[in-house]
Amino acid sequence: MEALLKVRNLKTFFYNEKSVIRAVDGVDFEVKPGRVLCIVGESGSGKSMTSLSIMGLVPGAHGRIVDGEVLFDGEDLVQLSEEQLSDLRGNKIAMIFQEPMTGLNPLFKIGEQIIEVLLRHRKLSRREARAIAIQQLRSVGFPKAEIIVDSYPHQLSGGMRQRVMIAMMMACEPKLLIADEPTTALDVTIQAQVLDLMRRLKDEKGTSIIFITHDLGVVAELADDMVVMYAGQIVESGSADIVFDQPLHPYTLALMGSIPSMTEENDRLTAIPGTVPSAANFPPGCRFAERCSAARSSCFNQLPELRELSPGHLVRCDLV
């Protein structure tokens, strides 16, 4: 099956007078049609910056993509103009952020904001767009969509606003949906509803999804494929089943070990010592070496390559 999205050697750097911050440093992965790819890792690992790079939304005047390709339906998004990217955003590719108020304007009613997306990308009358907006709100679980469509964002709860964002982003039925930690700020009940909605989008619409999270429980429930990022690079990737059943990189093993067990009598959590190294001063060797209990002297001097150890299972570690 041909991949819908191919990211090749993506590098996004930020520049200041004193240093170069390598936020994303040579990332490669693919997203196939109708599948969910989960990207996991600690804060500072480059997950969100990877998604913003795909969308052409690298923040600030000093950040830019310095190398690599982002091939969507065979077209390199890195080479597109801002006008061409605007035609894609919200249309063929959509993005949901962790905090829905980031994407919702507090001054406009919910319906107006969904209608604006539809009028921007579809040849519709305002009446037709409003009807679709109401239908979209129903599809994400609002039984009284006719009321919600005329509500302001501040009148809704966090979970309701997140569902509104999903309705807005799905209004034009994009091929690819990028969700950047959309359930982090939600309680477990609403989180379950959002994850169920994501599954329905994949199953009913055939939507491909990139789901960014640090919650391995979410990954186990939702992912078809999985990428583990650390310090701007991918350290392990493969199908979710393979990575969960046979984790090989010490960082992946440490993440798995930090999941609380419901069956073990020992209720102590396993913590990963230290912190993610600064993107302005990465060490010359393995970027996880300082925190890895299995590290050898060679690990501190030579950066390992991402190697395919079994079909579809890639690991960046010379110890496995």
Evaluate whether 235 touches 317 at the Cβ level (below 8 Å).
yes
User: Who wins on pLDDT, 217 or 270?
Assistant: 217
Span(s) in the chain for CATH 3.40.50.300: 5-92+174-261+271-315
pLDDT tens profile 46-100 = 999 999 999 999 987 889 999 999 999 999 999 999 999 999 998 999 998 877 7
The residue-averaged pLDDT of 38-49 equals 93
Whether pLDDT at 37 is above 90:
yes
The tokens describing 107, both together, are 């001054």
pTM of the model: 0.91
The residue-averaged pLDDT of 215-244 equals 94
> Please, which residues have CB within 8 angstroms of residue 273's CB and are 6 or more apart in sequence?
291
Whether pLDDT at 242 is above 80:
yes
> Please, which residues have CB within 8 angstroms of residue 44's CB and are 6 or more apart in sequence?
231, 275, 276, 279
Query: Looking at residue 29, what is its pLDDT?
Result: 97
Query: Looking at residue 188, what is its pLDDT?
Result: 81
Query: Looking at residue 265, what is its pLDDT?
Result: 62
Query: Looking at residue 212, what is its pLDDT?
Result: 94
Whether pLDDT at 116 is above 70:
yes
| Lowest pLDDT segment from 16-20, 43-47, 187-191, 294-298 | 187-191
User: Mean of the per-residue pLDDT values for the chain?
Assistant: 91
Query: Looking at residue 267, what is its pLDDT?
Result: 62
Query: Looking at residue 262, what is its pLDDT?
Result: 63
Whether pLDDT at 202 is above 80:
yes
CATH architecture of the region 5-92+174-261+271-315: 3-Layer(aba) Sandwich (3.40)
> Please, which residues have CB within 8 angstroms of residue 74's CB and are 6 or more apart in sequence?
none
Query: Looking at residue 103, what is its pLDDT?
Result: 80
Give the C-alpha separation, 95 to 194, whole Å. 15
Whether pLDDT at 186 is above 80:
no
Query: Looking at residue 94, what is its pLDDT?
Result: 92
Evaluate whether 69 touches 9 at the Cβ level (below 8 Å).
yes
Task: Report the range out of 63-72, 84-93, 131-140, 214-223 with the highest average pLDDT.
Answer: 63-72
pLDDT > 70 in the chain, percent: 97
The residue-averaged pLDDT of 146-156 equals 95
Confidence of residue 173 (pLDDT cuts 50, 70, 90): confident
- Give the end-to-end CA distance of the chain in Å, rounded to a whole number: 29
> Please, which residues have CB within 8 angstroms of residue 73's CB and are 6 or more apart in sequence?
4, 92, 175
Instruction: Tell me phi and psi for residue 45, to 5 degrees.
Output: -85, -15
Give the C-alpha separation, 35 to 224, whole Å. 6
Whether pLDDT at 214 is above 80:
yes
User: Who wins on pLDDT, 165 or 234?
Assistant: 234
Whether pLDDT at 263 is above 70:
no
